[in-house]
Structure 1
Amino acid sequence: MPASMTPTGNLTDAPDNRDDDLVFVAEADQLSAADGMLVRAPLAPVATWRILVVDDDADVHSSTLFALKNVEMQGRALQFLHAYSAHEARALLEREADIAVVLLDVVMERPDAGLQLVRQIREELGMSRVRIILRTGQPGYAPELEAIRGYDINDYRTKSELTRTKLYTAVAAAIRSYQQLRVIDANCAGLEHILAAGTQLMAQHGVRDVAHGVLRQMATLLGQEPAGVLCVRDSGHARPDLLRVVAAAGEHGELEGGELNPQRHQALVAAAQRTLRERRGHDAAGWLSLHFPGKAGRDFAACIPFGRKLDDTERRLLDVFASMVTVGLENVELVTHLNQAAFHDQLTGLPNRTRVVELLDAVLDSAQRGLTTLALIDLDHFAETNDALGHHFGDLLLAAVGKRLRTRMKPDSAAGADASNTLEVARIGGDIFCVLGEAGVVQPAPIQALFREPFHIDGQDVQVSATLGLVRLSEHDGSGADALKDADIALKRAKSHQRAGHFYFSRSMGVEIRERVRMMHALRSGFQRGELFLAYQPQVDLATNGAFGAEALLRWRTEDGRLIGPDRFIPIAEYSGLIVDIGEWVLRQALAELVRLHAAGYRTFTMSVNVSQVQFRHPHFVDMLRRALDDTGAAAEYVELEITESMAMEDPALLVEKLAQVKRTGVSIAIDDFGTGFSSLSHLQRLQVDRLKIDRTFVTEITGSARGSSIAEMVIQLGRNLGLSVIAEGVEDERQAHILRSLGCPLAQGYLFSRPLTPEALVEWLGNQARIEAA
């Protein structure tokens, strides 16, 4: 294993090549043997790690193979299996064994095919060891928060972020985890086999318990009371003759835990040293000894007082017993080591996520539940520090943070003298730590105060801040794993509001998330079933009250006939990414209606379509616009796209270029809700927009507020000075229309003229308007 990828290092911050995508050619020359990241497979055949790639895009399969070809991990090459659908993957998993990692796409034959396959792998196939890395090119179909909370996956990445380096890191971490699970399973199976043999000795846990069992069993075999010692010599110790007593019984019980003194216990020390030196048992000078060879020079010797000669039967029994004990001691030491690895973070020595979940489950089942708080602590901007100063520096910083949390988290006088006994500090993973303990101690202020003092790392002072997500267990109803997820939700909320802040999880937050997920699934299903439709609100010339165009408005009527407001479902569509598909459908529907209106004789009629920020920023938006115009045959000069003012002010350079591309299609641009943001006039001049839309808020206030009238007048004057058209939305009465006319506003829309109409009603309305004008 390359040094930079050992379990003691932090794995969360591989070099960030943000311009790379899943085609890894650009990185081919960036990773050399000197980097310690890629190791070419040896010529001799070796066992392989089996990786299953599940994706309906053949390019993803080939890109993955290219990125990881000739790579060796943990001394083994990689073998790839391929499935192009969830159904095909299920069949392959049923017949193939020892698959270590599944690289799984979310959206395949169905939008949730990947997520359903995760449930089948875990619940139906019972495959708990295989590591699942979820990959998606459409994160909206499986938002990160819901995917992590609802499915048993081991990693979640968008395809755009999986550069060659990051893909290697994710797969290496998954294989390490898979390998550890296999080792634990294999050794537990070996230990269970020994227990099944019926030996009481092997039922003990820990070297000390086994050592006591050895003394008892030796005494039983020889028909005498337990006595004597079992000691160990560590060959790597500075004092090679040191004999440490692991267990003692009978008259020698007081020696347990100490060192054998050659002056006080001359005969005992002589027997033990001879046994360890010659690596075999002896029966002489009133002592019977057995030798138990250990690994790395850790040899054990059991010495009991014995005043007679052994017979052949006893000797043979003791030989078998010694062989069994040797195996038992090795297994116990191995299990102890594995338990340490399974439940503790190797970098900091702190409990890990698995151990925290156990602790949480125990607290939730105890009377301490109502007095305990869980806090997740995320180091702010750790990735930048790691990238700038190196992973070794980052590891030292993580270790220092863990040590400070462990040593300085103390109860105050009001918290109770026993609070420190229940306080647990852990490292959950990456740069996230955890504190679990009495609510009076686990508070945001004292925790964040620990970060005010710089950390002295490798000769440098480093200032670090932290953001906290907290859960009061008295308000939590689920399991320990659920509490950890809730704390993570609170942490994400805190990070989205303000770094170095904190947020407590609340039931309403959980309800809000569940409602959002429910509506997201309902919206996706409703969209597929055709529950979404468009209504068209006419736009009129205030001078003549004649219609010149309409705005396409998205509506949702569920199967039971309920209308759900766009203010509720459009943010969900944007959050989930579904707005990209819905937005394209809206545009095509509106353009098709525009073509029908032109064919019906309304040849100069215009169609205005709202564009979401998520949709507008999609890399293929302009291509989609061109295809929609070509496929529907709509005349681009009669199409207007509306973007919000806040969207117009975000990343101005990118917006200017994107708007220029849109303008080259012949489509015009309007800025919606103008006046609600903080537009820079100089920036506005750079944008190639055609129309400003006065927000309905200022139209509503125009009759009763000098401020509303002033802002409306300002927008109208601004449009006139910049040569831009101006339209007012939300005009509901004639008085508003009169004021707008007097201010020089040329165009308007609102209930005064018409409510949003179905396509058929719009044609009928236009016909009535034409008859009125003719009369």
Structure 2
Amino acid sequence: MLALGVAFYLSEQRSSAAIDKLLNSDSRMAELSLRSSLAMYKARDAENELLLSVDRLGVAEASARSLPAMRNHLLDMREYLSSLRIISTDAQFRDRVDRIEAQTQQYEDGFLAFLKQRGKEGNLSSARTSRQGYVDAAVAVESSVEALHTAASKQALQTRSDVARAASFSRWAAIAMIVLAAVMGLVVARIVSLRIAGSVAQLIAFSRRVASGDFSARAQQGRDDEFGVLARAMNQMAESIENSNVLLQSSADTLKHQATHDALTGLPNRALLEDRLKQAISYADRYGRLMTVVFINLDGFKLVNDSLGRKAGDELLKVMAARMSKCLRSVDTVVRTGGDEFVIVLYDRPGQGTEITPALQRLLEAIARPVQIRGQAVEVTASMGVATYPADGADADALVMNADAAMYRAKEAGRNAFQFYAAEMNDTIRGRLAMREELRNAIARGEFYLVYQPQLEMRSGQVIGVEALIRWQHPERGVISPAEFIPLAEETGLIVPIGEWVLRTACFQHMAWQRAGLPTFGVSVNVSARQFRERTLIEQVARALADSGLEAHLLELELTESMVMEDLESALLSMNALQAMGVQLSVDDFGTGYSSLSALKRFPIARLKIDRAFVRDIPDDDEDKAIAKAIISLGHELNLKVIAEGVETEQQLEFFRANGCDEMQGYLFSPPVSPSQLATLVGTRSGAVHELGPRIDPRKKHRA
């Protein structure tokens, strides 16, 4: 019996050692390697965010915003790797950790060198070389960390296998000891034999249950003899194995959830979306039902992110995710695919699919409710695209793509709405995606150019200014109208670098005219709403003036009423700063916005521009004539110059001259022309009021 107890004790100790190794070493190594991988991914996200904001903010500002986050993630990664080195007893494993740390340092140093070169002009070639170097290092780090995590996970599984083998050894050792005890019992006495046989039978039954995977099984412990001690020891072993199995299952569940759910909102992510779609399609096929995919994009989310910060944007996303989930049934699925985009899978829909309209309306209303973030009420809306299986797509990819196409149609229709998919939408979306990509490269390829439309003084007939207007010379489609690409540039944020290019080009062109001996006149540049909200606008204007040498009073920036009234106090700060530099300001398209007279008198502007919508039907439309007269009178009362744009007929010219309008601009005198044509036009122009009239055939040019 002594030998039996010793053998069982050794078996139990071996199992306990294997379990301890699993819990205290290998599981910890797998967790640390996973955290290292996640930290690297977060560092790459911070790197991408920094690079995306460089063109908009400049290297210094972008680095100040995103570089600390990137370095913190790399520091976390190094701490995890250091812990791995301490825990691991494998020399080769530690060497792999050392190599990853060296690669991480190479990546960080290379990225910092790239930023330093990126911030300097003329270093494009060396910057590209540095970028390739640190990208290669980053890819190597990601690959090495992933391999490290795979190795650690395999080691954890191996340890679990060791535990299973230890349990098997213990089981067979117990059986052997029981058999030995039975033999000894036969020698000792018949009665002892029977008693031992009964105990052995119980322990065999217990061992078989454990061997079959029933780790909750326990042996009877009522006796105080050796079999009682053995039963208690085997129960301890079974309990240890059960606990380790629970921990392993819990870890596996946690890792699976992290891989299939969004870390911010807790919603299923893109990895789980395809599985849910396949399930819904399979159910619809089996029972002859419908399923619907809804693609959602939040309108105005980027403005919240830009104005209140990324943390505020994250809070808004969590609130929106909770609201969407609350609006749906338990069988439906809300997925966050990234950024401010969500996909909803509406499961098991009867009828023709139109019955989902009330659900979609509830979603719109829930999303549009104000959200309190940091004491401020924030409002966003949603554009939704709807595709139904099987009518709008035969598989998951087609349904998501077509719902996305319908969502873009909802945006074009005014946003805060939903659109059902129609087949012709795909052509439109493909065209938009192609133009978006081409637009990104247009500046670098030199495909943009400026034309200039003269502005004349009504009294003297002299050219007193020009308006710079952008055109896109596409290599395949020819000249693309600003009406096609400016809205897309606004949507993607590319309007900021495009606007800066227009500003600098106009300033340098004006200086070229001055050096050519042309009379002095001003140049006006349109500022988009997105560009006006940029914190770097003042710096961009100052840099353009300084680099070109243009005097500030010769530059005029044209703003719209709606742009200024969107955030009046902030707009006034920017306008006052520009006026302090000497830059002239004007309100473009006046009369189409919603500015009040009390707000208008606070604007530090020099000119009002009557929108062409009020000029086009003069002299036939009495209401347009009344509006034009009122604007002229209002401008003069506020000591502002008033210019009429879009003047195309002699009757319109006579109307504005008779009513005291100060300046005019339009095809009656000249369409937008090239810099050389403008130089010729200004050089030959001599000034009398009665000479105002057509000079260039407007049919030969694109209208502004």
TM > 0.5 between the two? yes
Could you say what secondary structure the match of 1:669 adopts?
strand
User: In structure 2, what is the equivalent of residue 570 of structure 1?
Assistant: 486
Are the structure 2 counterparts of residues 191 and 480 from structure 1 closer, same or farther at C-alpha, using a change threshold of 3 Å? farther
Matched, 1:438 2:348: yes
Q: Distance in 1 between matches of 2:399 and 2:106?
A: 31
Q: Output aligned runs, 1:39-118, within 5 Å.
A: 49=36, 51-52=39-40, 53=43, 55=47, 59=63, 63-64=68-69, 67=72, 96=103
The answer (yes or no) to whether the contact 2:291–2:347 under 8 Å persists in 1 is yes
Are the structure 2 counterparts of residues 478 and 513 from structure 1 closer, same or farther at C-alpha, using a change threshold of 3 Å? farther
Question: Greater shift after overlay, 542-551 or 330-339?
Answer: 330-339
Q: Distance in 2 between matches of 1:478 and 1:116?
A: 41
Are the structure 2 counterparts of residues 748 and 648 from structure 1 closer, same or farther at C-alpha, using a change threshold of 3 Å? same
User: In structure 2, what is the equivalent of residue 515 of structure 1?
Assistant: 431
Could you say what secondary structure the match of 2:444 adopts?
helix
Matched letter for residue 749 of structure 1: Q
The answer (yes or no) to whether the contact 1:49–1:100 under 8 Å persists in 2 is no
Q: 1:743 aligns with which of 659, 662, 672?
A: 659
Q: CA deviation at 1:94?
A: 13
Normalising by structure 1, we get a TM-score of 0.55
In structure 1, the gaps of 5 or more residues are 1-45, 80-91, 132-177, 200-213, 219-273, 275-279, 303-321, 408-422, 454-463
Q: Distance in 2 between matches of 1:104 and 1:294?
A: 55
Could you say what secondary structure the match of 1:529 adopts?
coil
In structure 2, the gaps of 5 or more residues are 1-31, 52-58, 85-98, 119-123, 173-194, 220-237, 367-378, 692-704
Q: CA deviation at 1:328?
A: 13
Q: Distance in 1 between matches of 2:356 and 2:611?
A: 44
Are the structure 2 counterparts of residues 673 and 115 from structure 1 closer, same or farther at C-alpha, using a change threshold of 3 Å? farther
User: In structure 1, what is the equivalent of residue 293 of structure 2?
Assistant: 374
Could you say what secondary structure the match of 1:752 adopts?
coil
Q: 2:459 aligns with which of 543, 546, 562?
A: 543
Matched letter for residue 275 of structure 2: E
User: In structure 2, what is the equivalent of residue 694 of structure 1?
Assistant: 610
Q: Output aligned runs, 1:163-178, within 5 Å.
A: none
Matched, 1:299 2:216: yes
Q: Distance in 1 between matches of 2:637 and 2:269?
A: 64
Q: 1:290 aligns with which of 198, 205, 208?
A: 208
Q: Distance in 1 between matches of 2:520 and 2:107?
A: 63
The answer (yes or no) to whether the contact 1:427–1:434 under 8 Å persists in 2 is yes
Are the structure 2 counterparts of residues 336 and 372 from structure 1 closer, same or farther at C-alpha, using a change threshold of 3 Å? same
Could you say what secondary structure the match of 1:709 adopts?
helix
Q: Distance in 1 between matches of 2:612 and 2:154?
A: 69
Q: CA deviation at 1:693?
A: 0.6
Q: CA deviation at 1:377?
A: 8.5
Q: Sequence identity, in percent?
A: 30
Could you say what secondary structure the match of 1:703 adopts?
coil
Could you say what secondary structure the match of 2:504 adopts?
helix
The answer (yes or no) to whether the contact 1:535–1:756 under 8 Å persists in 2 is yes
Are the structure 2 counterparts of residues 738 and 660 from structure 1 closer, same or farther at C-alpha, using a change threshold of 3 Å? same
Could you say what secondary structure the match of 2:452 adopts?
strand
Q: Distance in 2 between matches of 1:126 and 1:370?
A: 48
Are the structure 2 counterparts of residues 640 and 182 from structure 1 closer, same or farther at C-alpha, using a change threshold of 3 Å? same
Q: CA deviation at 1:572?
A: 2.2
Could you say what secondary structure the match of 2:390 adopts?
helix
Are the structure 2 counterparts of residues 566 and 96 from structure 1 closer, same or farther at C-alpha, using a change threshold of 3 Å? same
Q: CA deviation at 1:638?
A: 2.0
Matched, 1:622 2:622: no
Matched, 1:662 2:667: no
The answer (yes or no) to whether the contact 1:448–1:466 under 8 Å persists in 2 is no
Q: Distance in 1 between matches of 2:628 and 2:76?
A: 65
The answer (yes or no) to whether the contact 1:645–1:673 under 8 Å persists in 2 is yes
Q: CA deviation at 1:671?
A: 0.8
The answer (yes or no) to whether the contact 2:267–2:336 under 8 Å persists in 1 is no
Q: Distance in 2 between matches of 1:70 and 1:326?
A: 37
Q: Distance in 2 between matches of 1:557 and 1:506?
A: 32
Matched letter for residue 63 of structure 1: P
Question: Greater shift after overlay, 757-766 or 355-364?
Answer: 355-364
Matched, 1:531 2:454: no
Write out per-residue CA displacement over residues 220-249 of structure 1, whole angstroms, 9 at most, x where no aligned residue: xxxxxxxxxxxxxxxxxxxxxxxxxxxxxx
Q: Output aligned runs, 1:533-682, within 5 Å.
A: 533-560=449-476, 562-682=478-598
Q: Distance in 1 between matches of 2:449 and 2:601?
A: 36
Write out per-residue CA displacement over residues 567-622 of structure 1, whole angstroms, 9 at most, x where no aligned residue: 11222222222222222222222222222333344443121111122222221211
The answer (yes or no) to whether the contact 1:281–1:289 under 8 Å persists in 2 is no
Could you say what secondary structure the match of 1:445 adopts?
helix
Are the structure 2 counterparts of residues 639 and 472 from structure 1 closer, same or farther at C-alpha, using a change threshold of 3 Å? same
Matched letter for residue 443 of structure 1: I
Q: Distance in 2 between matches of 1:546 and 1:288?
A: 107
Q: Quick check: which one's strand share is greater?
A: 1
User: In structure 1, what is the equivalent of residue 222 of structure 2?
Assistant: none
Normalising by structure 2, we get a TM-score of 0.60
Q: Distance in 1 between matches of 2:568 and 2:362?
A: 38
Could you say what secondary structure the match of 2:499 adopts?
helix
The answer (yes or no) to whether the contact 1:282–1:290 under 8 Å persists in 2 is no
Matched letter for residue 69 of structure 2: T
Q: Distance in 2 between matches of 1:438 and 1:326?
A: 40
Are the structure 2 counterparts of residues 618 and 450 from structure 1 closer, same or farther at C-alpha, using a change threshold of 3 Å? closer
Q: Distance in 1 between matches of 2:204 and 2:217?
A: 19
Write out per-residue CA displacement over residues 470-489 of structure 1, whole angstroms, 9 at most, x where no aligned residue: 43233554863675576678
Matched letter for residue 439 of structure 1: R
The answer (yes or no) to whether the contact 2:589–2:609 under 8 Å persists in 1 is yes
Q: CA deviation at 1:499?
A: 10
Could you say what secondary structure the match of 2:635 adopts?
helix
Are the structure 2 counterparts of residues 721 and 562 from structure 1 closer, same or farther at C-alpha, using a change threshold of 3 Å? same
Q: Distance in 2 between matches of 1:667 and 1:451?
A: 43
Could you say what secondary structure the match of 2:484 adopts?
helix
Q: CA deviation at 1:98?
A: 14
Matched letter for residue 459 of structure 2: A
Q: 1:361 aligns with which of 278, 301, 305?
A: 278
Q: Output aligned runs, 1:710-721, within 5 Å.
A: 710-721=626-637
The answer (yes or no) to whether the contact 2:644–2:661 under 8 Å persists in 1 is yes
The answer (yes or no) to whether the contact 1:343–1:353 under 8 Å persists in 2 is no
Q: CA deviation at 1:444?
A: 3.9
Q: Distance in 2 between matches of 1:114 and 1:705?
A: 64
Are the structure 2 counterparts of residues 639 and 557 from structure 1 closer, same or farther at C-alpha, using a change threshold of 3 Å? same
Are the structure 2 counterparts of residues 527 and 503 from structure 1 closer, same or farther at C-alpha, using a change threshold of 3 Å? same
The answer (yes or no) to whether the contact 1:551–1:607 under 8 Å persists in 2 is yes
Could you say what secondary structure the match of 1:755 adopts?
coil
Q: Quick check: which one's helix share is greater?
A: 2
Q: CA deviation at 1:514?
A: 3.7
Write out per-residue CA displacement over residues 406-446 of structure 1, whole angstroms, 9 at most, x where no aligned residue: 56xxxxxxxxxxxxxxx444565999794431333871415
Q: Output aligned runs, 1:264-343, within 5 Å.
A: 282-283=200-201, 290-292=208-210, 298-300=215-217, 337=253, 341=257
Q: Distance in 2 between matches of 1:612 and 1:346?
A: 35
The answer (yes or no) to whether the contact 1:730–1:751 under 8 Å persists in 2 is yes
Q: CA deviation at 1:732?
A: 0.9
